[in-house]
Amino acid sequence: MRSMKNYIREPLRRGLLLALAAACLFCGGCGNGDGEEAEATPLLPTPSPTPAPQRGGEIRLPMPLNADITDPLQVNTEEMLSFFSLLYESLITIGPDGRLVAELAESWSGDESARVWTVTLRSGVKWHSGADLSAYDVTATFTRLKDLGASSYYAYEADKIESMRALDPLTLEITMKEGGYASLYALTFPIMEGGQPAATPVGTGPFMLESWSGEQARLVANEAWWKQRPYLDAITFLERDSNDTALASYRAGQLDMVPSSNTSVGSYRDDNTIVLDIMTQTAELLLINNTNANLRDINVRKALACALDRGQIISNIYMNRAQPCDVPIPPDSWVYDSASKVYDYNQARALELFAAAGWEQDPETGELEKDGRALSIRLLVNDSSDTTRREAAGLVADQLTDLGITVEVITAAHTLGETDSDYMQALQTGAYDLCLLGINLGRDCDLTSVMEPGGAAHYGNYSSPELTSLAQDVVSAKNETGYRQAAIAFQKAFVENLPFIVLYFRLNSVVYSSEIQGVTQVREPDIMYGVDQWYILSQD
Q: Give the Cα separation of 8 and 326 in Å (integer).
A: 27
**Residue of 336, 343, 93 whose CA lies nearest to 204:** 93
- The pLDDT score that the predictor gives to residue 52 is 86
Q: Give the Cα separation of 515 and 535 in Å (integer).
A: 8
Does residue 169 sit in the same domain as residue 287?
no
Provide the residue range defining the domain that includes 438: 4-11+279-507
Does residue 324 sit in the same domain as residue 457?
yes
Q: Is residue 299 part of a domain?
A: yes
Tally of CA atoms within 13 A in the half-sphere of 201 that contains its CB? 28
| 523 in Cβ contact with 529 (< 8 Å) | yes
- The pLDDT score that the predictor gives to residue 24 is 37
- The pLDDT score that the predictor gives to residue 34 is 43
CATH of the domain at 107: 3.90.76.10
| 238 in Cβ contact with 256 (< 8 Å) | no
**Residue of 325, 356, 489 whose CA lies nearest to 21:** 356
| 154 in Cβ contact with 189 (< 8 Å) | yes
Q: Decide which of 180, 196, 212 is a domain's last residue.
A: 196
Tally of CA atoms within 13 A in the half-sphere of 160 that contains its CB? 21
DSSP helix/strand/coil, 334? coil
**Residue of 21, 152, 18, 139 whose CA lies nearest to 74:** 152
- The pLDDT score that the predictor gives to residue 38 is 41
DSSP helix/strand/coil, 20? coil
Q: Decide which of 196, 230, 245 is a domain's last residue.
A: 196
Q: What is the pLDDT of residues 172-226, one digit of tens each?
A: 999 999 999 999 999 999 999 999 998 899 999 999 999 999 999 999 999 999 9
What burial class does residue 439 get, using C-beta atoms within 10 Å of its C-beta: 0-12 exposed, 13-18 middle, 19+ buried?
Answer: middle
Residue ranges of the chain whose pLDDT lies below 50: 1-7, 12-27, 33-40
DSSP helix/strand/coil, 114? coil
- The pLDDT score that the predictor gives to residue 28 is 53
- Calculate the CA 194 to chain-centre distance: 32
Does residue 161 sit in the same domain as residue 284?
no
Q: Is residue 455 part of a domain?
A: yes
Q: Is residue 258 part of a domain?
A: no
Q: Is residue 272 part of a domain?
A: no
**What is the DSSP secondary-structure string of 281-308?**
EEEEEEEE-TTSHHHHSHHHHHHHHHH-
Does residue 176 sit in the same domain as residue 287?
no
Q: What is the pLDDT of residues 462-510, one digit of tens each?
A: 999 999 999 999 999 999 999 999 999 999 999 999 999 999 999 999 9
Domain count for the chain:
2
- The pLDDT score that the predictor gives to residue 451 is 93
- Helix 480-497 crosses helix 465-476 at what angle (to 10 degrees)? 160
Q: Is residue 386 part of a domain?
A: yes
Q: Is residue 184 part of a domain?
A: yes
- The pLDDT score that the predictor gives to residue 352 is 98
Q: Is residue 251 part of a domain?
A: no
Q: Give the Cα separation of 307 and 357 in Å (integer).
A: 15
| DSSP conformation class of 257 | E
CATH of the domain at 498: 3.10.105.10
